[in-house]
Amino acid sequence: MNEIIFFGQNEYPKLFKNEPYKIKKPIQFKFENDENENENENENENEKQIKQISSSYFATIFLFKNGKAIEYLNEQYSRDSKQNPKKIQIEENIQKVSVGHQNVAILTTEGNVFAKGKDINPKNSKEFINISSLIEDINDRIIEDIACGGNALYLLTSNQNAYGIGLNHSGQLGFDSETLPKTQKPILMMKNVSKIFSGGNSTYIFLLDSNQELFGCGWSNFGQLGLGESRKQETKIQKLTKIQNIPKGKIINIKCGSIHSIMLIEDENQNQNPKRKLYSCGNWEVNGLGKDEDEDTYEFTEIKSSLFENDDYILDFSCGQYHTLILTSNSKLIGFGYNAHGELGTEDIKNQLIPIQIELPKLRFNEDISNYHISCGYDNSFIYYSPRPFSNLEEDLIKLFQRKEFCDISFKTKNGEIIEAHKLILKYRLNQNQIEKLQEIISNKSIKESNQLFEMIYSNNSKINPKLYSEIKEIINSNEKI
């Protein structure tokens, strides 16, 4: 049994029966998946919980912690929607899903990517094909991350190379659109990439390299790539271009709507209670950019609002086609942008240029708010509860420790004492059995002084409680022994 808070368009696909076309205020639904519930009666309830929701025009997919997923196809787009909901038939366990405007992609725990849709496989758009196996360089066939754009799919390999497949009509693959209008094989876009950012409704992409330099390409008619006023007349950026004038700090995440982009920056100078700020660029009239200004913005500029208090920490945010939602550590749900279908959860269905607080139903769980997640669909919104289990953290740590550059990270305190990061992590996050199992892997590794592991584990992706983050930082700074 899963509980979902939902609002917005409820027709394509029809997710909640006996509910209206427009759900204008947040309502809590009990989501039951009979296929998932009955598949393995011995599975604990945690494994049946929702892990991720991805939604766009093409479909809405629910991924569960047991590695299974179901899809609801858009009735306007596919005749197969009569089978809604339909179990996704992939033999391997699924770790991530991504839905684009006309495509769906699945990333498995083995690093394979399966995708379907007319821009990926026009000859048989209904069947999943193994995309990673189409990469010419066999050393690049293990995939770490995926992102569906509006008409393209982007892959990040374990070797930190970014590939693209699908349409290139706006240069979203980083090549001239006349020379290469589309491709049904993944093409190498850029090397030395640490993160990829795109959205299911967008025809552009951002790539972040290992030096925290940001590059982008694709459709930019409203400034959604943040390239600046000097390039405002260029509607197609057909070559990966460095984004200048990025705000100072560490780029945590970027979410892409159809014609607006939101960036989350963390202040690297604050060791305790690091401050996070949001920046936006793109179209103002439909989307709203979180600012009381009636013009498009061609550079990432800060979203300022009294709703973001000094002690408020941005936990999660998401962009739909034309709207944005933000979740803070003070349990605030904040939104702005288009609202014709109720996607902002206000009954008046008026568009909102500046951030407003959205009233939520009383949350059933007494867990920390950081266990909640936001996912904006094409013109609707989801909030769901998905605590990060210890086993997933353990898997992440094992994966990191297996990479030589991240082995046994340690911190040197003010008095010269060495505190090993993994001991802090074990103390706070793992039970005794997991400690012993992980310690076996760690015990023979060499010590290397670096903050990299700490920052990777306690990144936005880990949904770490900000209070815990601060507590561990404080221990390091105060020289307290473990």
Domains belonging to the chain, first-starting first, are: 2-388 (2.130.10.30), 392-478 (no CATH)
Structure tokens at 126: 């209904």
**DSSP code for 131:** S
The CA distance from 424 to 31, in Å, is 37
Order across the sheet with 323-328: list the strands.
314-319, 323-328, 333-337, 352-358
**DSSP code for 313:** -
| Maximum Cα–Cα distance across the chain | 68
Question: Whole-structure pTM over 0.85, yes or no?
Answer: no
Structure tokens at 402: 């297996």
Q: Which residues of 54-76 are buried (b: 16+ CB within 10 A; e: fewer)?
A: bbbbbbbbbbbbbebbbbbbbee
Find the Cα–Cα–Cα–Cα dihedral 29, 101, 227, 190, rounded to 10°.
110
The CA distance from 482 to 476, in Å, is 10
What pLDDT does 119 receive?
A: 92
| DSSP collapsed to 3 states, 167-236 | ECCCCCCCCCCCCCCEEEEEEEEECCEEEEECCCCCCEEEEEECCCCEEEEEECCCCCCCCCHHHCCCCE
Tokens 């815990």 sit on residue: 468
What pLDDT does 207 receive?
A: 98
The CA distance from 68 to 76, in Å, is 25
CA gyration radius, the chain: 22
Residue 315 phi, psi dihedral angles, 5° rounding? -90, -45
Surface-to-core class of residue 396, CB atoms within 10 Å of its CB (0-12 exposed, 13-18 middle, 19+ buried): middle
What pLDDT does 72 receive?
A: 93
What pLDDT does 447 receive?
A: 34
Structure tokens at 46: 């945690």
pLDDT tens string, the chain, 482 residues long: the values are 688 999 999 988 889 888 999 999 999 988 766 554 455 555 566 678 899 999 999 999 999 999 999 999 987 666 665 778 999 999 999 999 999 999 999 999 999 999 999 899 888 888 999 999 999 999 999 999 999 999 999 999 999 999 999 999 999 999 999 999 999 999 999 999 999 999 999 999 999 999 999 999 999 999 999 999 988 888 999 999 999 999 999 999 999 999 999 999 988 776 555 789 999 999 998 888 998 888 999 999 999 999 987 667 898 999 999 999 999 988 899 999 999 999 999 989 999 999 999 998 876 544 567 788 999 999 999 999 887 554 444 454 544 444 433 434 555 555 566 555 555 555 555 455 555 554 554 454 433 333 444 444 444 344 444 544 555 555 555 544 43
The CA distance from 331 to 150, in Å, is 31
Neighbours of 376 (CB within 10 A): 29
Closest to 60 in 3D by CA, of 80, 74, 48, 79: 74
